[in-house]
Amino acid sequence: MTRGIMATLAKQISPPNLSIMQDEGFTVSRVRTELLSGLTVALALVPEAVAFAFVAGVHPLVGLYAAFLVGLITALIGGRPGMISGATGALAVVMVALVAQHGVEYLFATVVLMGILQVIAGVMHWGKFIRLVPHPVMLGFVNGLAIVIFLAQLTQFKDPANPGAWLAGTQLYMMLGLVGLTMLIIWGMPKITSVIPAPLAGIGVVAGLVIAFGINVPTVGDMASIKGGLPSFHNPFGTGEGLYGTPLAPLTFETLQIILPYAVILAAIGLIESLLTLNLVGEITGKRGGASQECIAQGTSNIVTGFFAGMGGCAMIGQSMINVKSGGRTRIAGITAALFLLLFIVVASPLIEQIPLAALVGVMFMVVIGTFAWNSFKVMTKVPAMDAFVIVLVTVVTVMTDLAIAVVVGVIVSALAYAWNNARRIHAYTRESESDKGAKVYEIEGPLFFGSTDGFIELFDVAGDPDRVIVDFARSRVVDQSALQAIEAVAGKYEAEGKSIVLRHLSRDCHQLLTKAGHLMVDSDDDPDYQVATDYSVRTGVLGSH
């Protein structure tokens, strides 16, 4: 599932394609699949939106509005049809600190600023930097996220009447049995028919059994009652006091100082999770590109959601997996999920409240099984030890902290490992010059950058070399200022010994940097593959033509 995830992303925003039947063919079967997939996703969105609102310390309506608005807008103009967005736990755990310290009125302003930052990221095409996330980090992200989704479902095994206690006895066994039945239906349904998405069939059958036989197990309504109830529709257009009488934060510089740090963190987490989900969905659906467009879609949705007093959101890996596994491939599924969710809020909340949590837990457990990269256990026995370590590290950090920190940690560790490996690659082959009698040639091989400068300097036998030395960089690449400083250091040593040094096959960027340092450069016709080359001579501290 994760093979090839790090393929090159599109560099430009593609125009939002609102053709909901793009690449799929307008057929009755396709439309039916998309509608049913959207319904399945909407059923799973309700309890999660309520739960994440509870985590963030806000009213359930705040989470439900976020799920509807973010889901609808990103489905319409997002970078990848098939993705599902809404209120997420990754953002909720950051929001709870803001709400606790400053009040819910500051949350909405933060969500608006978060959206603005995400739109800026999209306009600046910063989404392309997701390609810098190495494949081991992606594997760790997928595995860690699967574990997080699994652990989040365990809270549904607590007694709704006593949230601090776990279910026990008959109620626990019944809950486990219904979860297992849901998973069995989802596993077996595709073997019988593909007309109805397997997750929807699992939810429908289990809910029907619970209602028909009056089985006493926790339902969506039980969970919602603990968290303030599943509210009915509320007119979003108020009188400047928010959706339900909460005063809005004043538009002052002090407010900006409060919300800016949270907005930056939320924007980063939202974009990282959304872009990684975009890659994951792209791997399953066989599509690429759309990173910058997705950034703009996420930002736009959060700006709108903030003005409508929602808690904001980003791409949801679990619901996106439900959608694509149910056959959702176009924008119809995402739009349908958002509209069904609104319908549930307006008129169908009594019906939704009767759905047993066991059915939704069973769906999410199957998502966990499908999301976890089981082949990573085999991969870790074949890849370098550092890559295996990064997979485990990112998985653990994702579970212990959050996605953004895990990805940053994984990228930093991978980059340091890459730098260390390249630092050890620098070496030189020496020979006598065929065209310049008496001169010694150093053929440098390997990248010259800050990590390899010490090794580069140690390659030269200044005292034992002849009066004329040629350093050939044809099989090397001078990367940064530290490398240029190392070249000058070597030149200085030969100068101190009264010897000359010729630098060959340096690129024009090196030429320009050394010229800025006060040295004269003259181009030659000898070019390396990656840049225009020059032939330089050093004598008494001056670089010039030879």
Going by pLDDT thresholds of 50, 70 and 90, the confidence category of residue 408 is: confident
Residue 435 has pLDDT above 70, yes or no: yes
pLDDT per residue as tens digits for the range 110-154: 999 999 999 999 999 988 887 788 889 888 988 887 888 788 788
> 445-483 as b/e, with b when 16 or more CB fall inside 10 Å?
ebbbbebbbebbeeebebeebeebbbbbbeebbbbeebb
* DSSP letters spanning 314-381: EE-HHHHHHHHHTT--SHHHHHHHHHHHHHIIIIIHHHHTTSBHHHHHHHHHHHHHHHS-TTHHHHTT
Residue 164: CB partners within 8 Å, gap ≥ 6?
158
pLDDT per residue as tens digits for the range 281-294: 888 877 777 889 99
Q: What distance in Å separates the CA atoms of residue 166 and residue 162, rounded to the nearest whole number?
A: 8
The DSSP bridge partners found for residue 504 are 472, 535
Chain mean position to CA 40:
24
Residue 43 has pLDDT above 60, yes or no: yes
Residues in the chain: 546
Chain mean position to CA 103:
29
Q: Which pLDDT belongs to residue 513?
A: 62
The class level of CATH for 427-544 reads: alpha beta
Q: Which pLDDT belongs to residue 227?
A: 52
Going by pLDDT thresholds of 50, 70 and 90, the confidence category of residue 168 is: confident
Q: What distance in Å separates the CA atoms of residue 366 and residue 373, rounded to the nearest whole number?
A: 13
Q: What distance in Å separates the CA atoms of residue 125 and residue 129, rounded to the nearest whole number?
A: 8
**For residues 203-208, average pLDDT:** 89
DSSP letter for 6, please: T
Q: Which residue has the tokens 């365990």?
A: 154
Share the mean pLDDT of the chain: 79
Residue 65: phi, psi to the nearest 5? Answer: -65, -40
Q: Which residue has the tokens 């001169």?
A: 439
The token pair at 295 is 């950034």
Q: Quote the percentage of the chain above a pLDDT of 70.
A: 82
Q: Which pLDDT belongs to residue 2?
A: 36
Contact 6, 279 (CB under 8 A): yes
What residue ranges of the chain are covered by domains with CATH 3.30.750.24? 427-544
Going by pLDDT thresholds of 50, 70 and 90, the confidence category of residue 226 is: low
Q: What distance in Å separates the CA atoms of residue 25 and residue 390, rounded to the nearest whole number?
A: 42
Residue 213 has pLDDT above 60, yes or no: yes
Q: What distance in Å separates the CA atoms of residue 475 and residue 378, rounded to the nearest whole number?
A: 36
pLDDT per residue as tens digits for the range 302-361: 999 988 888 899 998 888 988 988 888 889 999 999 999 888 878 777 777 788 888 888
pLDDT per residue as tens digits for the range 51-98: 677 667 677 677 888 899 999 999 999 988 889 999 887 788 788 788
Q: What distance in Å separates the CA atoms of residue 496 and residue 325, rounded to the nearest whole number?
A: 70
> H/E element holding 382?
none
Residue 360: CB partners within 8 Å, gap ≥ 6?
43, 44, 47, 156, 203, 220
